[in-house]
Amino acid sequence: MSESVQSISKTQYLADVAQAAKSPGPKWLLELRKAAAVRLAELEFPNRRQEEWRFTNIAPIVNTSFRSMVERLAIDLRAADIEPFVFREEGWTELVFVNGFYQPSLSRIAAASTNVRCGDLTAAAGSVVEHLDRYGANGNIFTALNSAFLAGGAYVHIPAGQVMEHPIHLVFVSAGRSENTAAYPRTLVIAEPQSQAVLVESHVHLEGNVPYFNNSVTEVVVKENAHVHAYRIVQEGASSYHLSTTKVHQAAASVFKSFAVTLSGKIVRNELSVLLDGEGADCSLQGLYLTGGDQLVDNATAIEHAQPRCTSWIGYKGVLDGRSHGVFTGKIKVRRHAQKTDSKQLNNNLLLSDEAVINTKPLLEIFADDVKCTHGATVGRPPEEVIFYFKSRGISEAMAQGMLTCGFCDALLSQMELEPVRQRLDNVVFERYSPI
């Protein structure tokens, strides 16, 4: 039954892909789309019989024929429309993409004091775009879908040795969307050796309740000794679907730190995979998901230790309310050669209602023998003795719960070094949960 429904929506996608293939672009883009279209035809949408999707029902996405927005929508956004989503901090570069397409008039590029290049992906140099679809994109139908429809997106190239003083913020806005349309935000980041950069990727929306689908792909290449801090905020519409795939490739002695925060969206799945492909690389993946209503939010993290002496840390926290459903996976693969691997993961969940559900699981595949891998997960409410401590100081249970929920989130947010982002998220948490 579901198979036949799948093929109907896939037939639609393939027809649209054939149409999209005709839209003009540089040669590399036409080739990329063509290769992706071939993969798309071969691959099937995932189902719950697959381990990675066991708890995540994306039938509402798979069973709908989303029409792909391959053309720029003639939508006239003003600076005021995007004001709530940008930071306008001194020195920041903020690139705005509407339904996946670059909008120079809404963007602000900080005075070019550096050699950093960034902007519309379709205008990027050949040495940059050659990285597209290189890092484990094969086998994933959603990245194939994204590449097959690729017509815009963001790129950031940080030259060797360049230490960026200020962040680059990529703002993906869904606006003017009609029902059941799909957009394909795409980001490529190359941090050359010894470079350092801070990136923020936001996925936000203007309308209220239109069911739209964003299928986002981000590829990050962190070369030798480079440092990348990446913040990701998903704040999609209440009826919308957001599937994202982030692939990170790390070379020797590189550092990648990410904070991924999901605030809204009907079904959200963030897949974040890191390949530690050089000795002594270090990665830290932290995240926070705040759910309510009948939301489904899935964070699927995966780190592959391919080389010796790499360290990794996964720390995700969730606050689940209403009838919402959270899924967390922390997959660690340690190849035979990757001795002295040091990997830790922790997933803490606070359930605010009896009907909220969380499925959390570590998946460890370890083929080396000299490694340290630890994992842990907690699910529940604050212990009685903690609530009693509040009460004994004159604070009611309801107020204690609110304060503890804020504190639970703050313990993670306080580790964010990027002050304006932290401040904004602090405010979201405070408004949602603070009893005061």
Partner 1 sequence: MLVIENLHATVEGKEILKGVNLAVRAGEVHAIMGPNGSGKSTLAHVLAGNDAYEVTEGRVTFMGQDLLEMPPEERARLGLFMAFQYPVEIPGISNAYFLQAALNEIRKSHGQEELDAMEFQALLQDRMRLVAIDSSFAGRPVNEGFSGGEKKRNEILQMAILEPRLAVLDETDSGLDIDALRIVADGVNRLRSPDRAMIIVTHYQRLLNYIVPDFVHVLFEGMVVRSGGKELALELEAKGYDWVKGLGVESGSGLALAQS
State the residues that interact with partner 1 by CB under 8 A.
Answer: 383-386, 388-397, 399, 403-404, 406-411, 414, 436
Task: Please state the closest distance from residue 348 (CB atom) to partner 1, in A.
Answer: 10
Task: Please state the closest distance from residue 313 (CB atom) to partner 1, in A.
Answer: 17
Task: Please state the closest distance from residue 386 (CB atom) to partner 1, in A.
Answer: 5
Task: Please state the closest distance from residue 343 (CB atom) to partner 1, in A.
Answer: 23
* Residue whose CB is less far from partner 1, 132 or 319: 319
| Run of H or E residues at 414 | none
* Residue whose CB is less far from partner 1, 135 or 408: 408
d(CA 364, CA 119): 38
Closest C-alpha to 358, from 345, 370, 349: 349
Burial 223-247 (b: 16+ CB within 10 A, else e): bbbbbbbbbbbbbbbbebbbbbbbb
Q: Tokens 């670059």 identify what position?
A: 102
Q: Cβ neighbours of residue 411 under 8 Å, at least 6 residues apart?
A: 317
d(CA 431, CA 436): 10
* Residue whose CB is less far from partner 1, 181 or 349: 349
* Residue whose CB is less far from partner 1, 83 or 384: 384
Task: Please state the closest distance from residue 383 (CB atom) to partner 1, in A.
Answer: 8
Task: Please state the closest distance from residue 152 (CB atom) to partner 1, in A.
Answer: 40
The token pair that represents 270 in the structure block? 């963030």
The token pair that represents 56 in the structure block? 């995540």
Task: Please state the closest distance from residue 393 (CB atom) to partner 1, in A.
Answer: 4
Q: Tokens 């605030």 identify what position?
A: 263
d(CA 189, CA 124): 11
Contact present, 82 and 107 (Cβ < 8 Å): no
| Run of H or E residues at 257 | strand 255-264
* Residue whose CB is less far from partner 1, 120 or 410: 410
* Residue whose CB is less far from partner 1, 305 or 317: 317
* Residue whose CB is less far from partner 1, 2 or 414: 414
Torsion angle (degrees, nearest 10) of CA 66, 273, 154, 229:
140
d(CA 67, CA 11): 12
Angle, in degrees to the nearest 10, between helices 397-413 and 419-433: 160
Contact present, 335 and 305 (Cβ < 8 Å): yes
Task: Please state the closest distance from residue 389 (CB atom) to partner 1, in A.
Answer: 5
| Run of H or E residues at 294 | none
d(CA 102, CA 253): 33
Task: Please state the closest distance from residue 260 (CB atom) to partner 1, in A.
Answer: 19
Task: Please state the closest distance from residue 409 (CB atom) to partner 1, in A.
Answer: 7
Torsion angle (degrees, nearest 10) of CA 228, 105, 145, 2:
110
* Residue whose CB is less far from partner 1, 179 or 397: 397
Task: Please state the closest distance from residue 381 (CB atom) to partner 1, in A.
Answer: 14
Task: Please state the closest distance from residue 43 (CB atom) to partner 1, in A.
Answer: 43
Angle at Cα 400 formed by Cα 396 and Cα 403, nearest 5°?
Answer: 140
Q: What are the strands, taking DSSP E only, across 226-281?
A: 227-235, 241-250, 255-264, 267-276
Which amino acid would we find at residue 46? P
* Residue whose CB is less far from partner 1, 307 or 347: 347
* Residue whose CB is less far from partner 1, 268 or 413: 413
* Residue whose CB is less far from partner 1, 293 or 407: 407
Torsion angle (degrees, nearest 10) of CA 204, 207, 208, 211:
-80
* Residue whose CB is less far from partner 1, 202 or 401: 401
Contact present, 256 and 222 (Cβ < 8 Å): yes
Contact present, 315 and 346 (Cβ < 8 Å): yes
